[in-house]
Amino acid sequence: MPLAPTLLAALTPDEHEVCLVDMFFGDKVDYESDVDVVAITVRTPLAVIAYEIADSFLKKGKKVILGGPHIFAFPEEAKQHATAVAIGEGEGLWPIILKDAEQNKLKDFYVCGPYGVERLDGAVYHKKERPTLKNLPMMRRDLLPRERYFMDSIFTTRGCPNHCRFCPVTDIFGPKIRHRPIDEVVAEIETLGRRYFSVDDSVFGHPQIVDRPQENQYYLDLYRELGRLRRGRLWTGAGGLSAVNYKNGRKILELAAESGLCSIAAGLESISAKGQKQSGGWKKLHYTSPDAFDIERMKTNIRTIQSLGIEVKGFFIIGWDEDTTETYRRTLDFCDECNVIPFIFTLTPMPGSQIYREYLEQGRILTDRPWDHYGGGHIVYAHPIMSEQEMFDLNAEVMTKGYSMRRILKRTLQAVRYRFSFDVATNSFFTQVGLRKAYRQLYEQSPRP
């Protein structure tokens, strides 16, 4: 279930009527609807269609608000398609926007966070502090048909200290970790279904700040409380392998597993030291430098996490300057050896990230490509060694092979080896079958370079 729209709906005062549209599940946009305000959350791969929807409502005289990660990177572009643009986190902005909309006094830009606003051309409302995440209302999941979603979603923290070169999250949410109060998180989880997903940057905390006792203690206390809830819930989220190596990390892992954590999405990024250096991913893997990267230690950490009954989905980015055509196949071999569910992607320099800015300055971004080419299945930059065709074909090859039925069954058996449960088995198997279908559709539908 989408998180941002349900949270904005919860932040909306009761006197307003709210309708949510989730186009991923086939909801149609009712352009004839008698609405006053249209708000759209925009990610880069969906910017083209988002702008089309926005323009259609503007022509009908509706007030259109655009926000989301793509808008954070390109607020001036977004303003061409909107009455007002929201930059930053919605908790500090949405009630203000609605009040101004009621009074027909909308400003051009609404900004929440310590960002420079000098470049913005127009009237600006700026709240310099990020929200504290305390006393947030429960998300309005009742506004969408919950039965169509495999998982609910929730968040407990925001912020990321990693500064990975390919990722804009640190710039958007800041390097400092902010926590929701544990009692509020537990109360909301009690309302969720049997499966849910935590959208936190890392459900195990961050090794860079383990010298802050409250960081580790937050996760120890949270998972002890979640472990006391009724059994039967399974949940997944993003988590770093480094939890194995830092103080109290093993205990956090054990408590998380006891609370129902059955799978993590782990940003492993690269199987080479040079790839770790170019991506910046070595920091979150708890290495003192990219030169200290040790692939055997990575394998050991994966096996330790798996031994606790937590399945590992490995996210890898290929296409750094030192990568070759063989990097694709060697990465799949690594996943096979470690029974890791493979998420192998060719690098997409996302707007707002350091690598996008660098490649744009170097003239390596293929600026003729539309924003909907930034969702996978397309090449949007020039590699010094590999051609677009080679990268496209090899990515399609390894992801097709990676989700062969033989590999899916082998990984499912690995999942139940350490946590014998029918729910775990079905969760692993059908998740992988769904991914198999999605990736095949992606590469079949994407035009070859």
Summarised one tens digit per residue, pLDDT across range 144-164 is 998 898 889 999 999 988 888
334 and 187: one domain? Answer: yes
312 and 360: one domain? Answer: yes
Q: What is the mean pLDDT of the chain?
A: 92
In a domain, 358, yes or no: yes
357 and 218: one domain? Answer: yes
104 and 159: one domain? Answer: no
In which element (H, E) is residue 307 found?
Answer: helix 295-307
Classify residue 287 as exposed, middle or buried by CB count within 10 Å of its CB (0-12, 13-18, 19+): buried
Closest CA to 432 of 446, 413, 419, 418: 413
**pLDDT of 195-211, one tens digit each?**
999 999 889 887 555 55
In a domain, 134, yes or no: no
Residue ending a domain, among 95, 127, 159, is: 127
65 and 192: one domain? Answer: no
In a domain, 46, yes or no: yes
Residue ending a domain, among 69, 96, 127, is: 127
Statement: residue 287 has pLDDT above 90: no
**pLDDT of 87-139, one tens digit each?**
999 998 999 999 999 999 999 999 999 999 999 999 999 999 999 999 999 99
Predicted pLDDT of residue 32: 93
In a domain, 135, yes or no: no
Predicted pLDDT of residue 164: 87
The pTM of this model reads: 0.91
256 and 116: one domain? Answer: no
CA distances, 186 to each of 157, 178, 260, 367 (Å): 13, 17, 13, 45
353 and 300: one domain? Answer: yes
CA distances, 36 to each of 31, 33, 132, 143, 308 (Å): 12, 9, 30, 18, 51
Which domain does 320 fall in, by range? 150-445
217 and 174: one domain? Answer: yes
From the centroid of its chain, how far is CA 152?
15
